[in-house]
Chains A and B, each alone.
Chain A
């Protein structure tokens, strides 16, 4: 079975500071990996995805993530935080093969940005 671990439930950074949100996965084979963002009272929006092409993936809003097989990690980064980045972030995994591409999510991390 696949799973995702997001350590910590809350990260706080100053505006302009580096954002680093950690995600580790467990899977018998390299899966597809995703980062989603959820703003209050809204659905999930895809930030970026890894589908076994380039290991460094660039997404929307200046976010990027690097797939590291040796560390089973897919950490999300942004060089300079903006106030509008405050939201909840979810890492997710899905099977590469098989008909059901259901997503398995981590518990999420709330990002706060201080002025």
Chain B
């Protein structure tokens, strides 16, 4: 069990550029969650997958955001036309159904 991994750990981009983050969950976990954490706040739910199906998306997830989990294993989160307000820590978590969610170290995005 190597835990949940996320890449990159840090990303600096200019406003208007597209960015993509990757999350590799714990191998036997069928659920994968994305959360966003801004400075001084707790994480906020963005979306989740069960296997390859995206089952719920938060209203926080604007049209510029898209997430995939093509084979029910790793997941990607893409942000198009980034804005300064997108600067945050993006956290991924995985679980086996409703069991405990294990979090990755996060990807810190800075939009300049």
Residue ranges of A at the interface with B (Cβ–Cβ < 8 Å):
4, 9, 36, 41-46, 49, 90, 92, 99-108
Contacts and interface: CB of A to CB of B under 8 A. Distances in A.
Interface string B76-112: 0000000000000001010101101111111000000
A74 to B, nearest CB: 15
A102 B104 contact: no
Interface of B: 4, 31, 33, 35, 40-45, 48, 50, 55-56, 91, 93, 95, 97-98, 100-106
A4 B41 CA distance: 12
A45 B56 CA distance: 24
Given A46-B100, A100-B55, A106 B105 contact: no
Contacts of A41: 105
Sorted nearest first, the 10 A-B pairs with minimum C-beta distance are A105-B42, A43-B103, A44-B103, A102-B45, A101-B98, A43-B105, A90-B42, A100-B56, A105-B43, A108-B42
Contacts, number: 53
B42 A92 contact: yes
Given A49-B100, A102-B33, A107 B41 contact: yes
Contacts of B42: 4, 90, 92, 105-108
Nearest to A104: B45
Given A9-B40, A105-B42, A105-B43, A100 B103 contact: no
Most chain A beta-carbon neighbours within 10 Å: one of B43, B56, B104: B43
Given A100-B55, A101-B31, A105-B42, 6 more contacts: A42-B105, A43-B105, A46-B102, A101-B98, A102-B48, A107-B40
